[in-house]
Each structure stands twice: as C-alpha cells, then as structure tokens.
Amino acid sequence: MTTSLKRQFTGVIYHEMTHIRQLNGKGQAPGGLIQGIADFVRLQADLAPPSFWARLGQGDRPDECYNVMAWFLDYYNSLRYGFVAELNKRIREEYNSGFFVKLLGKTVDQLWSDCKAQNETGHYKL
Ligand SMILES: [Zn+2]
C-alpha cells in the first residue's frame, strides 16, 4: 500500500470511528453536521487529502458536503477552542440550531457569512 493510500485509508478510519462515539440528537441532528463533525476529526488529525477536499469558505452552504462543514467547524473551533466538542456533547440528546447561537453568539447563516467574508479577506489561510 502506498503512503498516500495508507493516509487516505487512515483518514477514512478516523471518520468512521468518530461515528461510533457520536450521537445524533436522537435523529434530529442534520446529516451534514454529523458527517462534518466526523470529517472535522479527520481534518484535526491532519488526514485530509488536500487534492480533493474543499478549502475554508468554499461552497454555498456549510452543509453542502462533508468537508465544507469540516472547514466551517474548524474555523470556529480555532476561534473558540473546544466549540466542536461542546456542540457534539449538546447533540447527544437533542438537536437545536440554537446551539450555535448559545455557543458562538450567531445563527448558522450569520456564521457562514462571516466565515465566507473572513476567507475572502485572507485573514484565515491554511
Ligand atoms: Zn460518515
């Protein structure tokens, strides 16, 4: 197995292992968020394959695809360390989009707009 293939395989395992420990608000949490958290873990482990993953601020909505959500979560986790862990804890029993307001002070739409604008100004580059 090549190094690149091992790395991608390991990234997939990180993603899937996250699902084992993850709850989904008793089915209420959006699938894009659940998948995005799993890819956030992969991103945090530095196992995101750069060739096909989106970058921060790409896409039209944070839940457009798994890795767009992962970058969105990573951005806000960088501003408030532990945010994703706290969000994950809160969706154990239920899901409420108000969790974003409680944790970050803004709605998901506002956060997405801020994230897009921040990326365009180049203040958050990886
Ligand atoms: Zn998944």
- pLDDT per position as a tens digit, 59-92: 888 888 888 899 999 999 999 999 999 999 999 8
Q: Distance (Å, rounded) from C-alpha 84 to C-alpha 81?
A: 8
pLDDT reported for residue 64? 83
Q: Which of 37, 40, 51 is nearest to 7 (CA)?
A: 51
Residues with CB under 5 A from ligand 1 (ion): 35, 38
**CA 58 / ligand 1 centre spacing (Å):** 20
**CA 38 / ligand 1 centre spacing (Å):** 6
